[in-house]
Amino acid sequence: MTLAAIACGNPAPASSTHGYPESGLVLLSLADGSVKSSAEIGSDPVAVIVSDDGATAFVADSAPGDVYAVELPDLKVAWKQHVGGAPFGLLLHGGRLFVSLFSGAAVVELDPKSGAQTISHAVTQGPAVLGVSPDGRVMAAATGGQVDYMDGTSTPAGNGFGIAVVDGQIWTADYKRAELVRADDGHRVGLPLPVFPFWLAPGVSGTLLIAAEGGTEDIDPGGVFSFDTNATFNTLARPRDPDQVVQSGSKILVAAHGDQEVLVLDGGQQHHWAVGSAPVAIAPAAALNLLVLAVNTHE
């Protein structure tokens, strides 16, 4: 099947009652959280990443099955590519854009400049977040309880969405069991609270950051934790429905969808950015001193 890239021109302006898009991108200052611009892009965005040079954001639009490339900071859509299969995880590696298709049991490779699809890798049903293993292989967390590599091999892991590499170790999330699982040896560690780990990310000094959801996503408190090599947890915050956590400099940034804000943890202080938005994914664009938010009121 041939998938053609579609030139889309300028996006529509923001339109929600809070001044944020119902679904699209919002740019914040990484320094103080002030809003720089926003635009309606897609109808069901679930993930966003930014190129190393800060020139382009890539957005996974799940329900329509599309991927967007968006020029920064002007938020102009460079291309739109239909991939189907509920795109979820995004990864730039080796000059290619990898996209996991959550309902398509595949990871596809796109040309980041044109959006043209080049390769499709068959993986276990439910591929989610993507990463790069310590030996340089692209890998996908899978809700079937394993990590799939694009060379066709796999290893047992947590039954969940998140994956991250810390100090040469691959950590995954077992969502329903409220546990972390080390992929290499299956070692399991229970979370300190009965919440469900969704997103994992490397923190500072060899720590692992965890965003975990409460029993009822947008209502019950979830948890944001750091986990160190001594198997010690530190509970950092209890936002509702924290969909993603990332470290940027001294700041830990949380897309708190249930609280309709970006929660910022910085040196023992908490700040609240983009209050009234519905962030589901965040990506620092350090080269531009910007934070890119994917917002989705329908998620």
Burial 25-49 (b: 16+ CB within 10 A, else e): bbbbebeebebeebbbbbebbbbbb
- Give residue 17's pLDDT: 42
Q: What was the pLDDT predicted at 299?
A: 79
What was the pLDDT predicted at 151? Answer: 95
Paired tokens of 104: 């398509």
Q: What is the pLDDT of residues 124-133, one digit of tens each?
A: 999 999 999 9
Residues 174-209: tens digit of each pLDDT: 999 999 999 989 999 999 999 999 999 999 999 999
pLDDT at 4: 27
Say if residues 256 and 262 touch (Cβ distance below 8 Å): yes
Locate the domains of the chain by residue range: 23-296
pLDDT for 184: 84
9-48 per-position pLDDT tens digit: 333 434 444 689 999 999 999 999 999 999 999 999 999 9
First to last CA, the chain: 30
* pLDDT for the residue numbered 19: 87
Task: Mention every residue, 6+ apart, whose C-beta is less than 8 A from residue 46.
Answer: 60, 61, 62, 87, 88, 280, 281, 294, 296, 299
pLDDT band at 150 (very low <50, low <70, confident <90, very high): very high
Cβ(88)–Cβ(60) under 8 Å?
Answer: yes
What pLDDT is stored for residue 3 in this prediction? 29
- The stretch 67-95 carries a mean pLDDT of 98
**Which CATH number among 2.130.10.10, 3.40.640.10, 3.10.20.740, 3.40.50.880 corresponds to the domain 23-296?**
2.130.10.10
The predicted pLDDT at position 13 comes to 39
**Mean pLDDT rounded to a whole number for the chain:** 93
Q: Which residues contact 121 (CB under 8 A, 6 or more apart)?
A: 106, 107, 108, 109, 150, 152
User: For residue range 213-257, what is the model confidence (pLDDT) as tens digits?
Assistant: 999 887 999 999 999 978 899 999 999 999 999 999 999 999 999
One-letter identity of residue 115 = G
At residue 52, does pLDDT exceed 60?
A: yes
Distance from chain centroid for Cα 145: 19
So what's the pLDDT on residue 14?
Answer: 40
Q: What pLDDT, on a 0 to 100 scale, did the predictor assign at position 15?
A: 42
